[in-house]
Chains A and B, each alone.
Chain A
């Protein structure tokens, strides 16, 4: 059963992109779209969109970068740890939860480290990979998505994003404790 499941998932992740290309272009050809010209027309925007996000991305990554380098994360963790202990979250997994919205590469490193130390199928290993798998790098997305359309006033986007992250973290701890907790 587990093997079948894994095969299906492998199949999807290998096939998804070739299938999308085939359907998009095939459907276009079928509907008599001048596929090559239209493709090039659309692709033209790629360069400008990518270049437009540079200032936003520099601002965001630089701030998060120096925040990590200064060791401020350790300070933050020692402040928050008593709170997360209350909800039954192991202190080892806290850096993972805090890093996830800030940095994709940073949280990937922490997840790998946690699984190497505690074992991937331990409670902490499962919790860490759930935290990673169930969430996105909120601040990166805010910078890139809003940056691409030059939006500077993000209104309620940051509180909404952080509330969603908090809910995701609590949900991950809750479900992992129920299914794999000791």
Chain B
């Protein structure tokens, strides 16, 4: 299943990316090579044969929308830019995107030659008599294959992010695995498992109730409920390692593992710490009102997840994947 979903993401990404790029090409979304008339507001007085001049490109929202054939730009465009002019007639310009830059230009800048900067040619420029402003005709650099470039960038970036996340886990993993080991040796985990045995026996019938896996599962769930994601992952991975010791078919998920992941992805929670922190940062007057709703939604998700795992594990397709090799390994043990 994960096979197909994984392939689905990649194929859909490529198909949609190519489709959008072809669409851009046909509609000429970025008006490649088309001259655009703007007003240059500049207090500087350019002189000499080759000059550098700073100013603002100005055009009204309507002019911008008409030029690009859209309607989403609401405010007049005021874009700071740097120009280098030859004899005050032609030249080049470059600008870096700011907060106020139109979204379309920001998108163009993302796949332009310079990172987050757009360049272009000035075909014609006429300074007014008082040099406070000028009429300019500009042509933006050609922007092509925006989505394919973005896909290329994302593929490389996310491969790096994956390694960064994994490397970042080493420290907390080691810390918590060390602490768990001490708790195990001291018998603390056993106390926990015995306390919750009546529940865990029902949810994980394949796992002996005093198995270390149950202890790790309980600690993982507790950490998740308190919103301690730093501690939850090491506990969870410890639980997987212990569950894997009971796995008759290495490389294949057991029923207990899937049930455990159902509880985990269901996101059982008491304190949604991150969401509450963001609410506070955005200026909520009542950050806590989502606690009740989150507990309810996560509770429903977890219950449905557990039920679904119990039902689906009975399906012949999934049963076969597990059973085949159990028999084989039994035969090997006997023979």
Cβ-based interface call for A130 (8 A): yes
Cβ-based interface call for B180 (8 A): yes
**Contact, CB under 8 Å: B309 / A149:** no
Cβ-based interface call for A83 (8 A): no
B154 in complex: contacting residue of A39, A42, A68, A135, CB < 8 Å: A68
The verdict on A148 contacting B179 (CB below 8 Å), with A116-B282, A133-B294, A163-B305 known, is no
* C-alpha gap A90/B258 in the complex (Å): 32
Residue of B nearest to A130 (CB): B293
Cβ-based interface call for B59 (8 A): no
**Contact, CB under 8 Å: A150 / B181:** no
Cβ-based interface call for B241 (8 A): yes
B300 in complex: contacting residue of A31, A58, A168, CB < 8 Å: A168
**Contact, CB under 8 Å: B298 / A134:** yes
B residues 91-117 near A (Cβ < 8 Å) are: none
Cβ-based interface call for A23 (8 A): yes
Q: How large is the interface on A (under 10, 10 to 19, 20 to 34, 35 or more residues)?
A: 35 or more
0/1 per residue, A37-53, Cβ < 8 Å to B? 01111111111011101
**Contact, CB under 8 Å: A69 / B251:** no
The verdict on A12 contacting B154 (CB below 8 Å), with A160-B305, A167-B305 known, is no
Residues of B within 8 A of A71 (CB): 16-17, 20, 147
Expressed in whole angstroms, the minimum distance between the Cβ of A100 and any Cβ of chain B is 9
Residues of A within 8 A of B150 (CB): 69-70
**Contact, CB under 8 Å: B267 / A136:** yes
The verdict on A136 contacting B264 (CB below 8 Å), with A61-B161, A146-B240, A156-B1 known, is yes
Number of interface residues of B (CB under 8 A): 115
Cβ-based interface call for A92 (8 A): no
B182 in complex: contacting residue of A35, A138, A153, CB < 8 Å: A35
**Contact, CB under 8 Å: A50 / B182:** no
**Contact, CB under 8 Å: B6 / A156:** no
Expressed in whole angstroms, the minimum distance between the Cβ of B52 and any Cβ of chain A is 36
B267 in complex: contacting residue of A2, A62, A67, A134, CB < 8 Å: A134
Cβ-based interface call for B301 (8 A): yes
A115 in complex: contacting residue of B162, B273, B279, B288, CB < 8 Å: B279
Q: Which of A65, A66, A167 has the most CB of B within 10 A?
A: A66
0/1 per residue, A53-65, Cβ < 8 Å to B? 1100111111111
**Contact, CB under 8 Å: A149 / B241:** yes
**Contact, CB under 8 Å: A49 / B302:** no
26 contacts between A and B (CB under 8 A): A9-B291, A42-B179, A42-B180, A50-B173, A60-B162, A63-B6, A64-B9, A65-B154, A67-B10, A115-B279, A125-B282, A133-B294, A134-B267, A135-B298, A142-B2, A144-B233, A148-B240, A149-B243, A153-B321, A155-B258, A155-B318, A164-B266, A168-B298, A171-B299, A171-B300, A180-B289
- Chain B interface residues (CB < 8 Å from chain A): 1-2, 5-6, 9-10, 12-14, 16-17, 20, 147, 150-151, 153-155, 157-159, 161-163, 165-167, 169-183, 185-188, 224, 226-228, 230-231, 233-234, 236-237, 240-241, 243-244, 247, 250-253, 257-258, 261-262, 264-267, 269, 271-276, 278-279, 281-305, 308-309, 312-313, 315, 318, 321-322
- Chain A interface residues (CB < 8 Å from chain B): 2, 5-6, 9, 12-13, 16-17, 20-21, 23-25, 27-28, 30-31, 33, 35, 38-47, 49-51, 53-54, 57-72, 75, 101, 108, 111-112, 115-116, 120-121, 125-126, 129-136, 138, 141-142, 144-146, 148-161, 163-165, 167-172, 175-176, 179-180
Sort A-B residue pairs by CB-CB distance and give the 4 closest, nearest first.
Answer: A42-B181, A133-B272, A46-B174, A168-B301
